A and B are shown apart, each in its own frame.
Chain A
Amino acid sequence: MPASQPDQSATDKRWKTINLVMQRHDHRPEALIETLHAAQEAFGFLDPETLAYIATQLDVPPAKVYGVTTFYNHFNCSPRGEHFLEICTGTACHVKGTDRIAAWAQEKYGLEPGQTTADNRLSMVEVRCVGACALAPVIITDGTLIGAKTIAETTDLIEEWLHDDAP
């Protein structure tokens, strides 16, 4: 079990913010969730080395770190593709048919929720209500919220979004 920082290039600034969060909490075990947030923010996902490092630093059993990480929907343990599509599954979005967007993405890109395309170009997830219910159906493309469109308009926008950036 590595007790040191997984990324040995000590110049990696991303580790500094994570270490800072742990320091701010005096490395107390209750800083676990806050630290996981910081790590995911920095790296985009949580790999086994990162989890092991956090476990050592906060003196929390690795099993508990893994348990907490997998308990919460927000934490993901696999890397994301270049683009990130989030489909809201809140009630208002469900009533307006966002499940049809997920079905469309499955047909078009062969993606189940939580998967990434083989060329690493697109990751798709279904997310819990993002709270923009009045704009249902809502999707988020690389952090930009799109709503108040029909399902057909929305899928067109997704194609446009991926196409605009095509190499």
Chain B
Amino acid sequence: MTMHLEELHQLADDRRRELEGFAHHILVCTSLGCPKNKEIIAAFRQALTNSEAGEKVLVRKVGCMGLCAAGPVVLILPEEIYYQKVAPGDAAEIVSALGREPVQRLLLPSDLPFFTRQYKNVLALFGRIDPESLEDYLAAGGYEAAVTTITRMRPTEVIRSIDKSGLRGRGGAGYPTGLKWSTVAKAQGKKKYVVCNADEGDPGAFMDRAILESTPHALLEGILIAAYAVGADCAYIYVRAEYPLAVRRLKRAIREALRANLLGTAICGSAFSLTIQIRLGAGAFVCGEETALIASVEGGRGVPRPRPPYPAEKGLWGRPTLINNVETLANVPGIIQRGADWFAGLGTEKSKGTKVFALTGTINNAGLIEVPMGMTLREIVEEIGGGIPGGHTFKAVQTGGPSGGCIPAEHLDTPVSYENLSALGSIMGSGGMIVMDETTSMVDIVTYFMAFSMEESCGKCVPCRVGTAQMHTLLKKFQTRTAIDDDLTTLESLCHLVRNTSLCGLGQSAPNPVLSTLNYFRPEYLERITGPVDPCRQEEKQ
């Protein structure tokens, strides 16, 4: 079946009219972060069958609404009333309050800074559409950008637009997306691939999971545009097996898109064809590294290889391959739709647009947020995050997971950007932001990260395989207060050695948590040096 833009508009209009036919919508979050949602939906349906207004009310399952700390969350439209911590037993009360005074005891004020201080682009449709309905996505203007691109734009125009927007890789490294696309587009060879990296291995990060669970079609649309721009007819999505719900929704979205000729051959009557296949990851953090990821898609161990050649020239099965992260690709439809200038107008000079963060740890409003680049860490933690619970005080915010660092209170006024975070000894990373209070020991958290890097080291290069193990042993001594003076010197020199000589990003960035805490929280290491002290140095101290 060939589908044209007009027919897509028709489908979208039909769905819009259908939705407008209801007086109220009850939207229930069905993401991983809101458990018991099936029971809640069933309870609402039951309550509606007993209610007079029942036929005029539609219960819809939607994706993540962001404020996971208040979950399970329910949203009533068109009134924009949020309810928090909803239990199945609350359904009847909420239904009988429809069109009347809201249920005060469950009310979640919609004027919280958590909602008003965000700027949503990637998350715009989160919690507003049914992730398992193509029609819902179409009714919200979905696939418009992709179909326009494929039927009316030249690939070079698309790349120019992405380039002009200033979009940079959201997986953490921040490589300019337009430049990557144009390298693949220019690479020699007829067969090219697009690979979407959805192997979100960074502990404490769940932006990609939420995108896959909430708006899977937005990712497919981004992949369509990318594949058209670089000239690929085959794409892979490499997704974590640990995300079963995300995988299920993604598979469904691919089937729906195929049926509507938004994937497959001669898409929407054009000469462009694309197939998208899913490859399941199997729990190896190193597969976030692009050459390791390629090895894994090819069915082998996820072991990186030296670059160059870069995947843009020699990637999957030796062919030019574009590898982009989920959030990067999910940004693309918005850029095409609203224009490169709109995107470039957001953020800082070198970090454009918005960034999605998973805000967790000891923070009141734990959840998923999207803010313009350039917002300060303080605004994120204190305003959007609502500060630290239980009378505790802020100690540090950890970004970039095992590859990042801990940023202390004195740097909270730093605007978030790729450059600023790396100047502080951390990295933007994929977007995990873990807030820690004064009860968290920095030595403990760093030992935790080093154990992670040590276990996840693929073992191919010596500095990473042996270095992470040695650093872990040293950190354990600090943790158990058996360290001696020299251990600190050894630890520091090992950090530099592993950083400078490891083959891939895993090893190169594994020392970051140590170095950043040695920089900001050195006394915590020093107070744990209780072992025998070198007699010469003892004299020095006296």
Contact = CB atoms under 8 A, between A and B. Distances in A.
B299 A134 contact: no
Given A128-B283, A131-B209, A95 B296 contact: no
Given A32-B300, A95-B361, A128 B33 contact: no
Interface string B272-316: 000000011111110000000000111111100000000000000
A77 to B, nearest CB: 13
Interface stretch (A1-9, A68-76, A159-167): A68-76
Interface string A55-83: 00000000010011001111100000000
B35 interface: yes
Residue of A29, A72, A92, A146 most packed against chain B (CB within 10 A): A92
Given A33-B280, A92-B434, A134-B33, A74 B241 contact: yes
A32 to B, nearest CB: 4
A64 B71 CA distance: 45
Contacts of A71: 284, 301-302, 458
B203 interface: yes
Interface residues of B, number: 49
B358 interface: yes
Nearest to B359: A134
B233 interface: no
Contact of B32 (A64, A89, A145, A148): A145
Contacts of A68: 299-301
Q: What's the dominant secondary structure at chain B's contact region?
A: loop
B8 interface: no
B16 to A, nearest CB: 32
Given A90-B204, A94-B448, A134-B367, A37 B241 contact: yes
B282 A135 contact: no
Contact of B298 (A30, A67, A135): A30
A71 B367 CA distance: 32
Contact of A32 (B284, B299, B359, B368): B299
A42 interface: no
B200 A131 contact: yes
Contact of B203 (A31, A89, A135): A89
Contact of A95 (B200, B279, B281, B362): B362
Given A75-B282, A131-B200, A147 B298 contact: no
B398 to A, nearest CB: 7
B215 interface: no
B193 interface: no
A57 to B, nearest CB: 13
Given A30-B299, A91-B434, 19 more contacts: A30-B298, A34-B279, A71-B284, A72-B284, A73-B284, A74-B282, A91-B360, A91-B361, A91-B401, A91-B432, A91-B448, A128-B242, A133-B360, A134-B358, A134-B360, A135-B35, A136-B360, A136-B361, A148-B71
Interface of A: 29-34, 36-37, 64, 67-68, 71-75, 89-92, 94-95, 127-136, 144-148
8 contacts: A37-B282, A74-B281, A92-B204, A129-B203, A129-B205, A134-B68, A134-B359, A145-B35
